[in-house]
Amino acid sequence: MPDQLRLSLLGRPYFERNGQPLSGLTSIKGQALLAYLAAIRQPRSRSALAGLLWAEMPEEVARTNLRVTLSQLRKVVGDVLIVTRDAVEYDRHSPTWLDVAVLEHAASSGAELPAAASLYRGDFLEDFHVPDALPFEEWLLVERERYRQLGLSVLGRVAEAALEEGRYGEGIAAARRLLSLEPWSESGHQQLIKLLAASGQRNAALAQFETCRRRLADELGVDPSPETKTLVEEIRSGDWKAPQTVQVEMATSTLPVEPGVLPPHNLRVAITSFVGRQVEQAQITELLAKPDCRLLTITGPGGMGKTRLAQRVAFGQLKPDTLFRDGIYFVPLGSVSPMEGANGSASNPVALAIGAAIGLQFTGSSSPQTQLVNALRQKTLLLVLDNFEHLLNYVGSVIELLAQTPNLKVIVTSRQGLNLFEEWIFDLWGLAYPEAGDLNLEAFDSVQLFAQRAQRVSSGFDLAAELPHIVQICRLLEGMPLGIELAAAWARSLSCREIVYEIEHNRDFLATKTPNVPERQTSLRAVFNYSWQFLSEEEQTIYKKLSVFAGGFSLEAALQVAGATVQTLANFVTHSLVRQEAGGRYSLHGRLGEYALEKLMEDQAEYEMTRDRHCDFFANYTQQRDIDKPRDFKKSLIDWDVEINNIRVAWSWAVEQGRAQGLLKIYRGLGELYELSGRYTEGLELFQQAATKLYRIYQERKAIFGAGYSEIGEIYSHLLAFQGWFTLRLGQFEQTQALIRQALSMTDQITSGTQWHRAFPLYQLGLIDWYVGHFDSARQYLEQALAISKQTNGVFVTFLSLMHLGLTEAHVGNYQAARRYHEDCLAVTESVSMDNAIGMQHSCLGRLAYLSDDYLQAEQLLEKGLELFRTIPNRNNFALAFSLTHLGVVKWRLGQPEEGLQLCLESLDMFNNIGERYGQALALDHLGQITWGLADFQQSKHYFVTALKTALGIKAKPQILSALLGLARHLAREGQPNQAAQLLTYIALHSSSEYSVKEDARRLLAEMQGHGEPSLATVPDDQQIESFVQEILQGFVTI
């Protein structure tokens, strides 16, 4: 009996062979490729598949990844994949059971509908995510919706057939399953009502109608249709009769169901009902259809419902024949701090927010705006940018996006227009409300909104009894939705008459002072003033101070910065002034926070004191998680991620005010965060700004006082050192050396201090010399840094110095000394539970085992390091990429070249993302070695040439020599032995060559010349080699 594969793609994917889980399929992209080919059941070109899963990579690299993944996949699944030179397809005639195929066949033929319905365990490929594969994710969203509609259709037909055939229990189960997937399906509710009534459960059927009515009102803001109401009235009166039971042959079904395909989106069904605005929806939809309407701004005072209307319009575009086939995305900007990007920061919060909404991951040194434009350039999309008014300085980024993405349209909600020539303005005011003499008062949208919201906070709310006063409230507010909602919230403690009284007797209550707004109009400021006056003086003071937080705050932070208590925050939540979020955090409503900040800034002294407290709190918060402190490493990273917005704001304030102590407390934690997340460019920018500001203060104090400025100089030297660190990471070694020497010069003027005065700068000088192949001076700098850091208990510099001393000794062939350094370093990092550093030491020991030809030990140690990295947040960093590429060459040596190639490609991708040029050269060199071993000589040559160019760009001599070794192999193979011998001799005798590279050069030279050591007389000089390298590059450039 042949093997049978069973692929279950509905719900979480599950793969079996002959009833047993399919083993060996561990690659996420391998699983994605298998699921994709099985689902489409059509041939796809290799180029299309490479672009589907590796769109962010160069085409050549993407095709190599595809080849490796296909090779691994075929080892697992066998011949079910038909692979040709140009295309790949899943063999439709293979013995494979596929749940989506069964579902589609049942839907089209009408056969075995109940069995097919039972297969719908959940959404297509539920909880399945492929990193860095946006085209696959886009395909997945479309297919997920298609199969969802198909499953709903099958469930509906099962329920309908069960009603006709008298199988009521089966039908009830199908209808309930349908409603669990789509609670607002009125047809599903109708079916369930009929089935319950037919089975004799009349009361349950009537109760189901109430559920239907509530669901439709809450989810869609509509009443049940006349058909549903008539059905229920007939059931209530006893006039409805169940259909006469008939026997139906399920196989003789009607035409196949072809559900529409919806565009990808991130729209969410609102928790509260949407009331009115039908005319406005139609008008905006009509404007969007105009070819020249590409930027539409919905403007109006705060609280007019701009956000909900924009969301509703976007939902209206969510249909198979939509203009926006590539997606509809809602981009919330309300929580983006207006202070983000201050002090000259090049970061663009609008671009970052759009990227987060569409699932775009920003990596590398290119700006987020550039990456966003490149991602959307060919897309036909609708973006809804919500709450833009506090980000008007970034309107240029929106115009640039529109200019470079011709099929993009944007809806903006803002309190004011963007003042752009390209902009279409849509003014939005209040909901319709009753005027004197109007009849049918309950039908007005504003009245309906108040009633629905009041019933949520007071279950006994009597609309009929309160109607006259509700009409008064709606007139006073002129239909302003947020004002109505906030007023209705008081229905829990005030009668509607009392609410009217407060509005009428408070001159500022719900009344705007904006000059260009009619006198009868209202504003959110007035609603805020009413709530504000209900607060005690102490509560007002606290609330104002809460406005300095960015991205929410904890109870402890509120206590320390604003003097808040649990009870105070509970009062603010009750008054709708603060949101309580999951996990015990709090946040202000965006616009209320702005108003509170304005109140706080009326007293400049109080404002500055509160910002100082905020800065102090988050400076201490960061310092407590400092790398030299006892801590839970993973928790510290998570804590930083939660509070990163507040830490940035604290840092910006410390820079603006020249608060040296605040910078001193924050800088190491902030530096470590940017290092671990590979965000070198952003880290460099932050430290550069801080150093520039602090240097001015340092010079001013030095000129004025002539003494007492050493503390400023000390902190300035630290900032220079970290600025140097990020320039080093970006391969700018000469600039780094200048910064470090400036930092060391500053330390010469300081009489007291810690290891950071000299240890960290000296370490960096040693690291640069290690990169460029000056091993003796590297050792001297690193030993000095280690001695200082040990004296002052500086864990960070101690482990870094020990690690690179180990790497230095390994480079010169002193493997025993290298092992001792790495083992000492491992002990240091384990003593403070630095998981990332512990993992790096296992990887360094694994590299050492590899250099000693102990490949099994190397594999074990490197995989142990990777296990630690995979448990750490922000894993896109140097240490992980370093370990991956070395494990790749180890796998190659162990006879697993395809797996090794994949690991090195993953490493290269990560080095590219973080902009680490030394790592790029290293991974490219390893790829050249592996493809040489696979006899893919053209690709190998390409990798070595690219590695050489990269290493030359940063003057990393050891990597230059290693790449030349690989190219010498190619010269010898291509019949140029003299040139190969010259290169090999140069490499074998050069002081910057790594020991293992020298040995390989000697071995190859001996094989070519027939004897051992090369002759000194044949050694070319540097100038000859440089000229020769240029000839090589010119000769290989067209590969």
Instruction: Assign 295 a pLDDT band (cuts: 50, 70, 90).
Output: very high
Give CA–CA dist 348/356, Å, rounded. Answer: 12
Q: Are 577 and 540 in contact (CB under 8 A)?
A: no
Q: What is residue 358's predicted lDDT score, i.e. its pLDDT? A: 85
- Residue of 959 and 1007 predicted with greater confidence: 959
**Residue 239 CB contacts under 8 Å (≥ 6 apart), including other chains:** none
Name which of 131-145, 478-492, 543-557, 796-810 the model is least confident about.
478-492
Q: What is residue 852's predicted lDDT score, i.e. its pLDDT? A: 92
pLDDT tens across 142-193, in order? 888 888 888 888 888 888 888 887 878 888 888 888 888 888 888 889 999 9
List the structure tokens of 740: 């470090």
- pLDDT of residue 342 exceeding 50, the answer is no
Closest CA to 874 of 914, 918, 921, 924: 914
Q: What is residue 812's predicted lDDT score, i.e. its pLDDT? A: 93
pLDDT tens across 800-821, in order? 899 999 999 999 999 999 999 9
Give the N- to C-terminal CA distance of the chain in Å, as an integer. 49
Q: What is residue 709's predicted lDDT score, i.e. its pLDDT? A: 63
Q: What is residue 819's predicted lDDT score, i.e. its pLDDT? A: 94
Q: What is residue 143's predicted lDDT score, i.e. its pLDDT? A: 87
Instruction: Assign 629 a pLDDT band (cuts: 50, 70, 90).
Output: low
Q: What is residue 750's predicted lDDT score, i.e. its pLDDT? A: 63
pLDDT tens across 886-913, in order? 999 999 999 999 899 999 998 998 888 8
- pLDDT of residue 214 exceeding 60, the answer is yes
Across 22-36, 416-430, 472-486, 996-1010, the highest mean pLDDT is recorded for: 996-1010
Q: Are 711 and 750 in contact (CB under 8 A)?
A: no
Range 860-872 average pLDDT: 84
Length of the chain in terms of residues written: 1039
Instruction: Assign 356 a pLDDT band (cuts: 50, 70, 90).
Output: confident
- pLDDT of residue 861 exceeding 90, the answer is yes
Range 443-466 average pLDDT: 82
Q: Write down the CATH superfamily of domain 278-427.
A: P-loop containing nucleotide triphosphate hydrolases (3.40.50.300)
Q: Are 53 and 68 in contact (CB under 8 A)?
A: no
Range 441-464 average pLDDT: 81
- Indicate the pTM of the whole model: 0.53
pLDDT tens across 742-774, in order? 888 877 766 554 545 788 889 899 999 999 999
User: What is the number of other CB atoms lying within 10 angstroms of the CB of residue 469?
Assistant: 17
CATH topology agreement for domains 5-141 and 278-427: no
Class of the CATH domain delimited by 5-141 = mainly alpha
- pLDDT of residue 252 exceeding 50, the answer is no
Q: What is residue 262's predicted lDDT score, i.e. its pLDDT? A: 73
- DSSP per-residue letters across 569-618: HHHHHHTTSEEE-GGG-EEE-HHHHHHHHHHHHTSHHHHHHHHHHHHHHH
Percent of the chain with pLDDT over 70: 85
Burial class (CB in 10 A: 0-12, 13-18, 19+), 868: buried
Across 78-87, 385-394, 673-682, 730-739, the highest mean pLDDT is recorded for: 730-739
- pLDDT of residue 643 exceeding 60, the answer is yes
Q: Sketch the domain layout of the chain as residue ranges.
A: 5-141, 183-237, 278-427, 441-532, 546-602, 934-1039
The alpha carbon of residue 232 and the mean position of all alpha carbons in its chain are separated, in whole angstroms, by 48
Q: What is residue 876's predicted lDDT score, i.e. its pLDDT? A: 54
Q: What is residue 515's predicted lDDT score, i.e. its pLDDT? A: 34
The alpha carbon of residue 23 and the mean position of all alpha carbons in its chain are separated, in whole angstroms, by 30
Helix axes 463-477, 481-489, angle to 10 degrees: 140
Percent of the chain with pLDDT over 90: 20
Q: Are 521 and 513 in contact (CB under 8 A)?
A: no
pLDDT tens across 328-337, in order? 899 888 767 5
Q: Residue type at 275?
A: V
Instruction: Assign 949 a pLDDT band (cuts: 50, 70, 90).
Output: very high
Across 218-232, 234-248, 577-591, the highest mean pLDDT is recorded for: 218-232
Q: Residue type at 568?
A: T
Range 880-890 average pLDDT: 93
- DSSP per-residue letters across 396-415: HHHHHHHHH-TTEEEEEEES
Q: What is residue 320's predicted lDDT score, i.e. its pLDDT? A: 76
Range 509-518 average pLDDT: 36
Instruction: Assign 115 a pLDDT band (cuts: 50, 70, 90).
Output: confident
Range 205-219 average pLDDT: 86
List the structure tokens of 69: 């993944």
List the structure tokens of 610: 């509160």
- pLDDT of residue 489 exceeding 80, the answer is no
Phi, psi of 965 (to 5 degrees): -60, -45
Range 260-270 average pLDDT: 73
Q: How many helices (H) and strands (E) are present in the chain, helices listed first?
A: 45, 14
Mean pLDDT of the chain: 81
Range 55-84 average pLDDT: 82
Give CA–CA dist 329/385, Å, rounded. Answer: 9
